Every structure is written in structure tokens, then in C-alpha cells.
Amino acid sequence: MQIINTSDSKDQNIAFLTLPEIPDKTDCKIILSVTNIPKTVSQICRENNLPRSSTYKKIKRLLNADLITIERANIDDKGKRVIFYKSKVESFEFNLQAGNIFIKFNTSDVNI
């Protein structure tokens, strides 16, 4: 993955991902699902009709790409840890530059 960090006048970070790292439809569903409100994997799966196992894999990929973050972790009534995920992406756009396709993510987090 190629990530280029820059700051604009609003002090936002911008990450460029090259073609092999472009999020697929499911990745985008997950990002959009956790844009406004932090959610658990169960909530994300229910809202988007996604299988739990592949959702965990996608979330791990999005965490590694620094597009989502762990907002908080709670303990449920059964004593299990429940993690809430939140999107770091405020906006994104596709660009074609010198024959390469890039996705530019504007994030609210200054530590991308």
C-alpha cells in the first residue's frame, strides 16, 4: 500500500491508496456504516446483511489501512468484550494520475 500523508489548511490528513488496495463494495458498506455512530461487528453485519467471518476480515483490513479505528471496548452482560468501530474517513475521491488510479481519503485523525 502506498500512503502519502499531507496536511492542508484544515490540518486533515490525506491517504492515497493505489489500485490493489482499493476498497471493494463490502469495505465501503462497512466504512459508511460506522461513519456517524460507532458500531459493533454484530450491528454492522445485521445492517448490511454480511457474514460475520468475512466482516471480521474486512474490519481487520480497514484497521490496517487506518480507515477505521476502535472507538471503545465494553464488556457485555455475558462478560465478553465488545468492540465499537468508527470510520476515520470524512470524504474520499478517485483520481487518475500518470496512468495510476488513486483513492484519496480525507480523514479527521491527524495521526494516520
Burial class of residue 34 (count of CB atoms within 10 Å of its CB; 0-12, 13-18, 19+)? buried
Average pLDDT over residues 8-24: 51
108 pLDDT higher than 70? no
- φ/ψ of 10, rounded to 5, equals -90, 5
Map grid coordinates 493505489 to a residue. Answer: 18
Q: Residue 104: pLDDT band by 50, 70, 90 thresholds?
A: low
Lowest mean pLDDT among 2-6, 11-15, 70-74: 2-6
Q: Per residue in 36-82, pLDDT tens?
A: 899 999 999 999 999 999 999 999 988 988 888 999 999 989 999 99
- Asked if residue 59 lies in contact with residue 83, where contact means CB atoms within 8 angstroms, the answer is no
Q: 7 versus 74: which is more confidently predicted?
A: 74
For the chain, domains (ranges, CATH) are 13-107 (1.10.10.10)
Q: Work out the end-to-end distance of the chain between its first and last CA atoms, rounded to an integer number of angstroms.
A: 13
Question: How far apart, in whole angstroms, are the C-alpha atoms of residue 107 and residue 12?
Answer: 6
